[in-house]
Amino acid sequence: MARSSILGYPRIGEKREWKQALEAYWSGKLDEEAFRGRMKEIRLDRLRKLQASGIDLIPVGDFSEYDHVLDTAAMFGIVPKRFAYHGGEVHPSIYFGIARGTKEAAASEMTKWFNTNYHYIVPELDGTAPTLTENRPLRAYLEAKETLGIEGKPVLLGPLTFLRMSKGYDQADTDAWLDRLLPLYEQVLRELEQAGAQWVQIDEPALVQASDIGSSERLSRIYGRFAEAAPRLNIMLQTYFESVDDYEAIIELPVQGIGLDFAHGRDANLSALRKHGFPSDKVLGAGIVDGRGIWKASLANGCKLLEDIARFVPSDRLIVQSSCSLLHVPVTVQGEDQLPQTLRHALSFADEKLEEIALLARAAELGAGAIAAETQASEAALQALNAHETRNRKDVQAAVSEIAVHEGRRDKPFAERQPLQQAKWQLPLLPTTTIGSFPQTADVRKARQQWRKGEWSKERYDGFIREQIDKWVGLQEEIGLDVLVHGEFERTDMVEFFGEKLAGFAFTRGGWVQSYGSRCVKPPIIYGDVAFEGAMTVEETAYAQSKTSRPVKGMLTGPVTIMNWSFVREDIAREQIAYQLAFALRQEVEALETAGIGLIQVDEPAVREGLPLKREAQAEYLAWAVKAFRLTTCTVCDTTQIHTHMCYCEFHDMLGSIEAMDADVISIETSRSHGELIHHFETQSYPLGIGLGVYDIHSPRVPRTGEMTAMIGRALQALDPALFWINPDCGLKTRGEEETVAALRNMVEAARAARRSV
């Protein structure tokens, strides 16, 4: 019998109950006991739902009160030394302290989980010897069994991936760290075996990214030990997000199941299967339903894939499953009845995917004919969306293919544009500016809500926004900034704002996905051809410009960032979507220029987020991402100064791509790792305008002038003063008004001091 499974399920609940419980606990509205009770309810509700769905192997232990990587660290007593931890089970105050920081100790770093928008807490292996503080998977297994009679599949983060995600140790010590961790894993597995568990899922997504950490010797040492420790327990060695790098070695391992992703690494995994076959003593966990995408599965394609797979693996050794945990998609499409019908029918979130998996498992057993009616329905829904006019805008497609044959070069190279711009704008040496947003105080947020709910008329709301602009233009002049901004008071979110004004986008009501901790995001859906429908930012920007004689910088979100922070259609390549966005945004750039705005910033903080996991695919992605930016910005006249901004990531290995964007000025977040980035500029020159953030905007602390002059001085040892700008790290929307004004005054003061000394 072919079985069905998933690798994990969203934690947040249909109505984000999980988030509410966490935040109530943090704010003291729920005490510890009530919080634990509430979490248990949520956990069990979720299991009941999975039980009712008919999925055969239900994952347990994938639920978390914050993050599964942090759970793994806590289970092994891996707590940074700065927290007062004295062994034993990690108390919530320490657990959440590591995640969020306490008065005494800074939080651990948080970083992206592979190429998803989920962020995990980076374990710090600062030397403390790990011990098993509690067997979390066992606890989850027993709870599901005893309360609901579920014979669950405990999920563990594998040792290789865990080490790969951690910091604070030398890669050369990997084996020494494995020696410390493996006995703990063995104990976990042994106890699970004793409790009667049949399957355990060990997640090793690190095996899809070639690296020394997953050498075949190491793998067979680890899994050989596990097999010995718990010989009767079936281990599903689970990979996802891409194809595995060393298929031949992996299928030799002494485990009972291998889980492969046939949604994101489909071609490579299939050809490995064809070339090397699949061992007759193992079960294949076939990740057929895309766990990260929001689109309905094509059951016809699924059946075809199953037929391919059936040539190598009989159905009694097959588990049909999601390609990865469903953590990365919203809970359910139900309740999204405001969406266009054609779109809604083509969507599939976590709950809908459960049905698809069950259907495909049936097809694996009984043949495609057994689900013919459902297959027809799914194909019809997908075809209807493909045939929808929003996906067939000949005008957009023709215009985009026409511009996309060009490289997006500006008329003149930077070296020739720069003096023309300088002559026009007459900016002082080391000009000062900000990244775009000013504090979104409670009354700004409230005003927006009142307008959205219809309590405020458009006139009243517009008037309010204008007052904010007036106030901040005045403040910026008084502070002495050289290039002003309007402040972005009308925007909640930098992607949503543009998505709502462009064609081709849709917004769900409850399509939340966990981003980190209790923070959830509701990504827009790009489901049609993206098109410009009219000016989006001109009114506010031109208004701000009318209030001052200093230049006001226009502010747009770039094409690659809009794409990477949305769920996107899959019937055309991402590259094409980026060009469509580029074409639409170019029209906004041109509209701003026509309205007299001569400095325009196109933010691209999320360029790096789209980077493919496989190194060999990265250059191609960066090439078209850069091109999309250039297509957005290349048509302006020589004297119009294009700015861009980047943050949240490492830049040193992509300086070449950043330069290729050909922005006249880039501002980069650096204050936290200032020294590091500067260091790279010592060996690699940067020939365009650049501002390295001189203060960290994540903290309410007002930076002193001296700190900033020091940073500027250090930067000017490596970078040309004639091209250097002075700005904060990022937008100021999360800051308070008073601290913002004080910080900017000091920044302007620092710039003046620096001018005197160059």
- Whole-angstrom Cα distance, residue 92 to residue 538? 49
Q: Is 698 a catalytic residue?
A: yes
Binding partner of residue 436 among Zn ion, ligand GLN, none, CB cut-off 5 to 8 Å per kind:
ligand GLN
Count of residues that bind Zn ion according to CB under 5 A: 3
Determine if 688 is a binding residue for Zn ion (CB under 5 A). Answer: no
Tokens of residue 463, six digits: 């008037």
Tokens of residue 37, six digits: 């009770």
- Whole-angstrom Cα distance, residue 632 to residue 407? 11
Binding partner of residue 718 among ligand GLN, Zn ion, none, CB cut-off 5 to 8 Å per kind:
none
Q: CB of 469: closest distance to ligand GLN in angstroms?
A: 15
Dihedrals φ, ψ of 58, to 5°? Answer: -90, 125
Question: C-alpha angle 151/155/161, rounded to 5°?
Answer: 165
Q: CB of 218: closest distance to ligand GLN in angstroms?
A: 39
Q: Name residues whose C-beta falls within 8 Å of residue 72's C-beta, 6 or more positions apart in sequence.
A: 123, 156, 157, 162
Q: Which stretch binds Zn ion (CB under 5 A): 131-139, 342-350, 643-651, 693-701?
A: 643-651
Binding partner of residue 296 among ligand GLN, Zn ion, none, CB cut-off 5 to 8 Å per kind:
none
Binding partner of residue 523 among ligand GLN, Zn ion, none, CB cut-off 5 to 8 Å per kind:
none
Q: Which stretch binds Zn ion (CB under 5 A): 29-37, 344-352, 529-537, 642-650?
A: 642-650
Q: CB of 722: closest distance to ligand GLN in angstroms?
A: 25
The runs of H, that is alpha helices, within 340-388 are 341-345, 350-366, 372-387
Residue 44 DSSP SS3: helix
Q: CB of 619: closest distance to Zn ion in angstroms?
A: 25
Instruction: Sort strands 153-157 and 199-203 into parallel, antiparallel or unpaired.
Output: parallel
| Cα–Cα nearest to 487, from 538, 413, 586, 554 | 554
Q: CB of 610: closest distance to ligand GLN in angstroms?
A: 15
Determine if 694 is a binding residue for Zn ion (CB under 5 A). Answer: no
Binding partner of residue 494 among ligand GLN, Zn ion, none, CB cut-off 5 to 8 Å per kind:
ligand GLN
Determine if 730 is a binding residue for Zn ion (CB under 5 A). Answer: yes
Determine if 368 is a binding residue for Zn ion (CB under 5 A). Answer: no
Window 431 to 450, contacts with Zn ion (CB under 5 A): none
Q: CB of 109: closest distance to Zn ion in angstroms?
A: 17
Question: Judged by CB, which is closer to ligand GLN: 607, or 626?
Answer: 607
In sequence order, what DSSP letters do the residues of 242-265 get, joined into one string? S--S-HHHHTTSS-SEEEEETTTS
As a residue count, the chain comes to: 758
Tokens of residue 659, six digits: 């330069």
Q: Name residues whose C-beta falls within 8 Å of residue 279's C-beta, 6 or more positions apart in sequence.
A: 251, 252
Determine if 647 is a binding residue for Zn ion (CB under 5 A). Answer: yes
- Whole-angstrom Cα distance, residue 516 to residue 67? 8
Binding partner of residue 203 among ligand GLN, Zn ion, none, CB cut-off 5 to 8 Å per kind:
none
Question: Judged by CB, which is closer to ligand GLN: 235, or 647?
Answer: 647
- Whole-angstrom Cα distance, residue 513 to residue 16? 9
Question: Judged by CB, which is closer to Zn ion: 607, or 715?
Answer: 607
Determine if 666 is a binding residue for Zn ion (CB under 5 A). Answer: no
Binding partner of residue 437 among Zn ion, ligand GLN, none, CB cut-off 5 to 8 Å per kind:
ligand GLN
Question: Judged by CB, which is closer to ligand GLN: 206, or 642?
Answer: 642
Residue 515 DSSP SS3: strand
Instruction: Sort strands 503-506 and 525-531 into parallel, antiparallel or unpaired.
Output: antiparallel
Q: Which stretch binds Zn ion (CB under 5 A): 59-67, 192-200, 292-300, 603-611?
A: 603-611
Tokens of residue 250, six digits: 């992996």
Question: Judged by CB, which is closer to Zn ion: 572, or 655?
Answer: 655
Question: Judged by CB, which is closer to Zn ion: 204, or 603?
Answer: 603
| Cα–Cα nearest to 60, from 158, 161, 136 | 136
DSSP state of 393: -
- 276, 406, 652, 698: the active-site residue: 698
Place of tokens 């634990």: 36
DSSP state of 390: G
CA distances from 221 to 160, 180, 218, 404, 457 (A): 12, 14, 5, 51, 68
Question: Judged by CB, which is closer to Zn ion: 53, or 740?
Answer: 740
Question: Judged by CB, which is closer to ligand GLN: 363, or 555?
Answer: 555
Q: CB of 625: closest distance to Zn ion in angstroms?
A: 17
CA distances from 274 to 268, 304, 313, 367 (A): 10, 15, 11, 21
Q: Which stretch binds Zn ion (CB under 5 A): 155-163, 317-325, 513-521, 723-731?
A: 723-731
Binding partner of residue 487 among Zn ion, ligand GLN, none, CB cut-off 5 to 8 Å per kind:
none
**272 residue type, one letter:** A
Residue 535 DSSP SS3: coil
Beta bridge partners of 703: none
Q: CB of 403: closest distance to ligand GLN in angstroms?
A: 25
- Whole-angstrom Cα distance, residue 641 to residue 541? 15
- Whole-angstrom Cα distance, residue 590 to residue 573? 26
Binding partner of residue 555 among ligand GLN, Zn ion, none, CB cut-off 5 to 8 Å per kind:
ligand GLN
Determine if 607 is a binding residue for Zn ion (CB under 5 A). Answer: no
Beta bridge partners of 555: 601
| Cα–Cα nearest to 188, from 145, 257, 133 | 133
Determine if 697 is a binding residue for Zn ion (CB under 5 A). Answer: no
Binding partner of residue 19 among Zn ion, ligand GLN, none, CB cut-off 5 to 8 Å per kind:
none
Beta strands in 85-134 (DSSP E): 110-112, 119-121
Window 128 to 167, contacts with Zn ion (CB under 5 A): none
Q: Name residues whose C-beta falls within 8 Å of residue 740's C-beta, 6 or more positions apart in sequence.
A: 438, 439, 732
Determine if 326 is a binding residue for Zn ion (CB under 5 A). Answer: no
Beta strands in 588-677 (DSSP E): 599-603, 641-646, 665-668
Binding partner of residue 368 among Zn ion, ligand GLN, none, CB cut-off 5 to 8 Å per kind:
none
Q: CB of 468: closest distance to ligand GLN in angstroms?
A: 14
Determine if 55 is a binding residue for Zn ion (CB under 5 A). Answer: no
**211 residue type, one letter:** S
Q: CB of 645: closest distance to Zn ion in angstroms?
A: 6
Q: CB of 587: closest distance to ligand GLN in angstroms?
A: 19
**758 residue type, one letter:** V
Determine if 692 is a binding residue for Zn ion (CB under 5 A). Answer: no
Q: CB of 117: closest distance to ligand GLN in angstroms?
A: 13
| Cα–Cα nearest to 271, from 322, 312, 303 | 312
Question: Judged by CB, which is closer to ligand GLN: 299, or 555?
Answer: 555
Sites of contact with ligand GLN (CB under 6 A): 435-437, 488, 494, 555, 603, 605, 645, 647, 730-731, 733
Question: Judged by CB, which is closer to ligand GLN: 234, or 492?
Answer: 492
Determine if 485 is a binding residue for Zn ion (CB under 5 A). Answer: no
Binding partner of residue 21 among Zn ion, ligand GLN, none, CB cut-off 5 to 8 Å per kind:
none
DSSP state of 635: T
Question: Judged by CB, which is closer to ligand GLN: 555, or 708?
Answer: 555
Question: Judged by CB, which is closer to Zn ion: 265, or 436?
Answer: 436
Q: Which residue is nearest to ligand GLN (CB)?
A: 731
Determine if 606 is a binding residue for Zn ion (CB under 5 A). Answer: no
- Whole-angstrom Cα distance, residue 112 to residue 114? 6
Give the footprint of Zn ion on this chain (CB under 5 A): 605, 647, 730
User: Annotated active-site positions, please?
Assistant: 698
